[in-house]
Structure 1
């Protein structure tokens, strides 16, 4: 138990989210359930991220003990109102990165905390500024890192992020996949 934070079940196979919780000194175990990540038409990108995070949490509602918090999250990349999910194949990843090159995009992480059958939803938005990337930089990154499990086809902590991102407005950890500062504040307030 860390500062009155209950034990956490992290419903995510993302190694980046697991690493962020470890860096926060949180006790957690990873439990995965298959969830359909489709969403209704007409939602804003923020609503989509929260909707999917909550849907992932709902899969645990019947079975989770009261002294545990289920933490689910969904990160999406959005440019000019268009949501970029995970790429279908390497060519699709290259296309996405070409769209992001030289532009600003938003990274939105929706988070849901399920505790005592109550859902606590929140989200964070960060703006990410990419410099112009060459075709070769994009293609070699996709070939080497195969970013098919990442929204928008990139990891900020990988080479493309290190060489391509000029600046960020907002939370860095949100871009990695979990807005840790907002998450911590919510976890500490759960029992109040």
Structure 2
């Protein structure tokens, strides 16, 4: 792992930091705290919620399964960092917007309402790094949208930064002008709560972060 341009060392070993995500947003967030992953290895897992699975349990399970799937493929000493973000209305998990229709569905339901964004972060060592340990954090953030007119929803859809986003919007995008309340972690809404992620890295053997 590179921290602020310098390679760290853990008691003679140099474990890699593997980000189990293809999200450029998570890479940018890590760079914000001076952390650059050595590799990006997206996890290929089934992300279908289990029957009657609640949002918190789902987010935790996804983060751990992503970390486990990637850690099992790494032969060098390494720490795998994985995360999963879920947008919920009560106990209902809103889908990830892979098309315009899904994004519209989400925005219409979020309009004028408070919802919760849950992001779970997990770190897991590869089998060859025996000093590392598995740990996780779960962060919840309350977010409220202003009431959206059909014209405003269409403008958000035309902007296109909903693509691939849980709940059909990006806090760092055009939707920010319609969010009137946020309580919690803004970086968690974007996809990686930085304080909690830093705490997880600091909790590993060696000097992962100052």
Q: TM-score, normalization: structure 2?
A: 0.83
Root-mean-square deviation over aligned CA pairs: 1.9
The equivalent of 2:197 in structure 1 is: 183
The equivalent of 2:47 in structure 1 is: 37
Q: Does 1:160 align with 2:175?
A: yes
* 1:88 CA drift (Å): 4.4
2:75, 2:126 within 8 Å by CA — same for their partners in 1?
A: yes
CA distance, structure 2, for counterparts of residue 146 and residue 121 of structure 1:
29
2:141, 2:182 within 8 Å by CA — same for their partners in 1?
A: yes
Report Cα offsets for 1:106-126 as digits up to 9, x if no partner: 000111111244432221000
* 1:63 CA drift (Å): 3.0
Which of the residues 150, 156, 166 maps onto 1:135? 150
3-state SS of the aligned residue for 2:167?
helix
Give the gaps of 5 or more residues in structure 2: 128-132
Runs of 4+ displaced beyond 6 Å? none
Answer with 1 or 2: which has the greater Rg: 2
Give the gaps of 5 or more residues in structure 1: none
CA distance, structure 2, for counterparts of residue 8 and residue 30 of structure 1:
9
* 1:129 CA drift (Å): 1.2
* 1:57 CA drift (Å): 1.3
Q: Does 1:59 align with 2:73?
A: no
Q: Of Structure 1 and Structure 2, which has the larger fraction of its residues in helix?
A: 1
Q: Tell me how many residue pairs correspond in the alignment.
A: 191
Mean CA deviation greater in 104-113 or 36-45: 36-45
